[in-house]
Amino acid sequence: MNEALLRELVPAVIGILVRRGADFAAAEDAVQDALLEAVRSWPGDPPRDPKGWLITVSWRKFLDAARAETSRRRREAVVDDQPVGADVPDVDDTLRLYFLCAHPSLTPASAVALTLRAVGGLTTRQIAQAYLVPEATMAQRISRAKRTVSGVRFTRPGDVATVLRVLYLVFNEGYSGDVDLAAEAIRLTRQLAELTRSEEAAGLLALMLLHHARRAARKRADGSLVPLADQDRSRWDTDLIAEGVAILQAALANDRLGEFQAQAAIAALHADARKAEETDWVQIVEWYDELVRLTDNPVARLNRAVAVGEADGARAGLAALADLDPELPRYTAVAAYLHERDGDPATAARLYAEAAAKAPNLAERAHLTKQAARLNARRR
C-alpha cells in the first residue's frame, strides 16, 4: 500500500468534507477513520480511484457519527444539498487547511501537531513518537487544537508567513520515531509553494533542501556533532544543493526578498564552498545584513557576529557580539568560539564549559564539553 499517496490525499479530502458542511474536527476524525479502513482493506483490494474512495468512505463515516448526535437533521439537510459522488475543487480547500492548522490562536506546538495530523496525514502515534511524548499526551494536544479552530471561518486570506514558520518548526525537529519530519516538512513546503506561488515559500523550500543536503555529514557514527567547517563535504547531496539553488535563484529573480530567501542565500554560499576556507564570508555578512534589515531578529544578529568574525577577524566579531543580549541561546558558545579565534584559550575554555551547561540537548552539550576539554588540555 502506498502510504505516501494516502498522506498526500488527506488535506484535499478533509477540505472537501468541510466544503460539504462538516466542521473541521468532525471532518478530520472521519478522514482518520477512513485511513484506518484503507490500511486494512487496500492491500487486498486496492481501489482504482484512491481519492474518490477516501472521499466516499470519509463522508460515510462523518454521516454515521453525525446521525448519532442531536445534529442529525441538520447534517442530513447538507446531504440533500451535496451529492456524495460530486467532486469539489480541492486546491483552495488544501490551502485553507494549511492556514487553519497554523491559526494564530494556536500555540506553535499545537499548530505543528495539527499540521502533521490534518495536512501531513500522520497518525497521532507517529506524531507522538516523533516528538518523544506519550500518545495520550499528543492526542490531548491535537484534540485541544481541533476544538480551538473548529469554529473558525475565513473572512480574509490566510497568512502564508505563519504557515511557513510552522513548517520550519517541523523541519527543525529533524528525525525521530518512524517518521522523518525533515522530509515531511520538505514535502509539505513543496506542496505549499506550488499552491501559493509565493517567493517566500520557495525560499523556505530552498533553505530546507540546502540544509537537508548536509544531513549525512552532520554527525559521526557515535552520534556526536560535526561542525560545518569540519564536515566531509563529499558526503553532501549535490542534487539537493543544485535543486535548492535553482529554486532560490528563481525566487530571487522576482525581486521580492523575504527572510527565508535571505537565509537560503546564506546556506547556498556555504554549499558553494568546496572547502571551508573557500567560504565567501564577506558576501555572507552582506546577506546577514539583509536578514537583519528584514527581521531585526536577535538570532540573526548573533549569527552575523560569527560571520563578521570570519570575514573581518575575531575582534570585529566580538565587537558585533557586544551589542547583543548575553541571555540569547548560543550566545556563550559564539563568544567562546570568537575568543578562541582571538587567541584567548583560557576565556574560551571557560565559556565553552558555561555554554555546555546551557545546551538544549545532549549532543550539543557533549560537543561543547569536548571543546572546553580540548582547550584545557592544551594549557596544561
DSSP string, 318-363: HHHHTTS-TTSTTHHHHHHHHHHHTT-HHHHHHHHHHHHHH-SSHH
Residue 191 lies in a domain: no
Q: Give the percent of the chain with pLDDT over 70.
A: 90
Grid coordinates representing 43 are 492491500
* Number of domains observed in the structure of the chain: 2
**Which parts of 106-212 fold into alpha helices (H)?**
108-114, 124-131, 135-149, 160-172, 181-196, 199-212
Indicate whether 148 pLDDT > 70. Answer: yes
* Boundary of a domain, candidates 88, 107, 126: 88
pLDDT of residue 176: 55
**Position 110 in a domain:** no
Of 54, 88, 122, which residue constitutes the final position of a domain?
88
Residue 285, burial from CB neighbour count under 10 angstroms (0-12, 13-18, 19+):
buried
pLDDT band at 327 (very low <50, low <70, confident <90, very high): very high
Q: Looking at the chain, which runs of residues are DSSP E strands?
A: 175-176, 179-180
Q: Nearest to residue 176, comparing CAs of 143, 144, 223, 141?
A: 223
Q: All 3 cell numbers of residue 116?
A: 502533521
Contact 339, 354 (CB under 8 A): no
Asked if the structure places residue 276 within a domain, the reply is no
Q: Is residue 28 part of a domain?
A: yes
Is residue 262 within 8 A of residue 294, CB to CB? The reply is yes
Q: What is the CATH number for 315? A: 1.25.40
Q: Which residues constitute the domain of residue 50?
A: 1-88
Cβ contact 269:263 at 8 Å = no
Q: Which amino acid is at 268?
A: A
| CA 326 to mean position of chain CA atoms | 27
Residue whose grid cell is 486494512: 40
Asked if residue 228 is part of any domain, the answer here is no
Average pLDDT over residues 355-379: 91
Residue 34 lies in a domain: yes
How much is the pLDDT for 306? 97
How much is the pLDDT for 242? 97
In a domain, 119, yes or no: no
Residue 27 forms part of a structural domain: yes
Q: Which three cell numbers stand for residue 185?
A: 516538512
What's the pLDDT tens digit per position in 235-289?
999 999 999 999 999 999 999 999 999 999 999 999 999 999 999 999 999 999 9
Q: Which of 88, 120, 148 is the last residue of a domain?
A: 88
Question: What is the sign of the dihedral through the CA atoms of 335, 304, 341 and 321?
Answer: negative
Question: Per-residue pLDDT for 89 more than 70?
Answer: no
